[in-house]
């Protein structure tokens, strides 16, 4: 492998890591083992710390392909908890409200999921990396400031739900760049006449790349070590 000329590394990001944690860890090992002061390393689409799964990381000249990879559709699997909400729409923050769920049945859940397919406007979560007046939205939200988020155009191409573990609802969704699954949890819960929180999320595909072909960060570090000679 030629990391300077450029490689595409498919990483299975672990729970609790930021996308930049994975990038920085691999960059450090590449610099050490290639004996270079700088090497370009970037990812093609952020995964939240509480999400796992496919993270496409490019090195060297392949970083020029990052924007193209980011523009491709993504597929996720995960779980919504119906009837409870948090400020961040996931488990990063504590539950703050409880809503009725007795009126919801599997047929209704399937119908609601189908209603979300197609082009639409989505308001990103306040707890997101969106830039607001030069600062990340989540930085403002965490200090209690009111943040007004502008909607983005997205497309949901496929949205399948499985209510066999209700009030936990498992899902698989294929969507466009810029789709926030946490925001979808919020909107899905509201459309059900209740509330919802994203309690599990895993990215399985990004364009033609699959998580089944990905390696853990540890495995990639081992591969780097085996292919190069460290400079002590």
Enumerate residues 6+ apart whose C-beta is below 8 A from 47. 13, 19, 53, 55, 203
pLDDT single digits (tens) 61-97: 999 999 999 999 999 999 999 999 999 999 999 999 9
Asked whether residue 229 carries a pLDDT value surpassing 60, the answer given is no
Q: Do 194 and 135 have their domain in common?
A: yes
Residue 144: pLDDT band with limits 50, 70, 90:
low
Asked whether residue 230 carries a pLDDT value surpassing 60, the answer given is no
CA 130 – CA 1 distance, rounded (Å): 35
What sign does the dihedral 20-124-162-160 (CA atoms) show? negative
| Catalytic residue, candidates 12, 48, 105, 219 | 48
Q: Do 95 and 174 have their domain in common?
A: yes
The vertex-121 CA angle with 45 and 108, nearest 5°, equals 100
Q: What tokens appear for 158 in the block? A: 């496929």
Instruction: Give me the chain's average pLDDT, please.
Output: 91
Per the annotation, the verdict on 48 as an active-site residue is: yes
The answer to pTM > 0.85 is yes
201 within 8 A of 78, measured Cβ to Cβ = yes
Q: Do 190 and 149 have their domain in common?
A: yes
pLDDT single digits (tens) 169-211: 999 999 999 999 999 999 999 999 999 999 999 999 999 999 9
Q: Do 54 and 44 have their domain in common?
A: yes
The pLDDT, as a whole number, for residue 29 is 93
The pLDDT, as a whole number, for residue 226 is 83
* Average pLDDT of span 134-159: 78
What total number of domains does the chain contain? 2
Which CA distances in Å does 64 have to 30, 60, 207, 220? Answer: 18, 8, 16, 21
* Average pLDDT of span 113-142: 79
Q: Which residue has the higher pLDDT, 139 or 120?
A: 120
Q: Do 94 and 78 have their domain in common?
A: yes
Residue 137 lies in a domain: yes
Residue 146: pLDDT band with limits 50, 70, 90:
low
The pLDDT, as a whole number, for residue 232 is 47
Percent of the chain with pLDDT over 70: 89
The pLDDT, as a whole number, for residue 169 is 98
Asked whether residue 228 carries a pLDDT value surpassing 70, the answer given is no
Q: Do 157 and 63 have their domain in common?
A: no
Residue 232 lies in a domain: no
Q: Do 186 and 84 have their domain in common?
A: yes
Q: Do 123 and 219 have their domain in common?
A: no
Q: Do 47 and 144 have their domain in common?
A: no
Q: Do 54 and 85 have their domain in common?
A: no
Q: Do 91 and 166 have their domain in common?
A: yes
The pLDDT, as a whole number, for residue 116 is 97
Residue 2 lies in a domain: no
Q: Do 110 and 220 have their domain in common?
A: no
The pLDDT, as a whole number, for residue 213 is 98
Residue 121 lies in a domain: yes
Q: Which residue has the higher pLDDT, 133 or 178?
A: 178
Q: What tokens appear for 212 in the block? A: 């089944």
Asked whether residue 23 carries a pLDDT value surpassing 50, the answer given is yes
Q: How many other CB atoms are found less than 10 A from the CB of residue 167?
A: 14
Residue 119: give the domain boundaries: 74-206
Give me the CATH number covering residue 185: 3.30.2350.10
């Amino acid at each position: 492998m030629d990391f300077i000329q450029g490689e595409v590394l498919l990483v299975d990001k672990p729970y609790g890591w930021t996308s930049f944690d994975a990038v920085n860890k691999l960059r450090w090992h590449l610099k050490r083992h290639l004996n270079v002061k700088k090497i370009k390393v970037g990812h093609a689409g952020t995964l939240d710390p509480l999400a796992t799964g496919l993270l496409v990381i490019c090195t060297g000249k392949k970083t020029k392909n990052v924007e193209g990879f980011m523009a491709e559709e993504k597929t996720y699997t995960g779980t919504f908890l119906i009837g409870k909400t948090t400020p961040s729409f996931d488990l990063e923050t504590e539950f703050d409200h409880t809503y009725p769920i007795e009126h919801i049945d599997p047929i209704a859940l399937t119908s609601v999921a189908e209603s979300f397919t197609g082009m639409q406007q989505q308001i990103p979560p306040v707890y997101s990396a969106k830039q607001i007046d030069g600062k990340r939205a989540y930085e403002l939200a965490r200090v209690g400031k009111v943040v007004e988020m502008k909607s983005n155009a997205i497309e949901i191409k496929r949205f399948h739900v499985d209510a066999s573990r209700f009030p936990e609802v498992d899902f698989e969704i294929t969507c466009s760049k810029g789709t926030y699954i946490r925001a979808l949890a919020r909107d899905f819960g509201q459309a059900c006449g209740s509330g919802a929180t994203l309690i599990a999320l895993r990215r399985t595909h990004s364009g033609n790349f699959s998580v089944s072909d990905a390696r853990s960060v540890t495995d990639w570090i081992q591969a780097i070590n085996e292919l190069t000679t460290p400079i002590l």
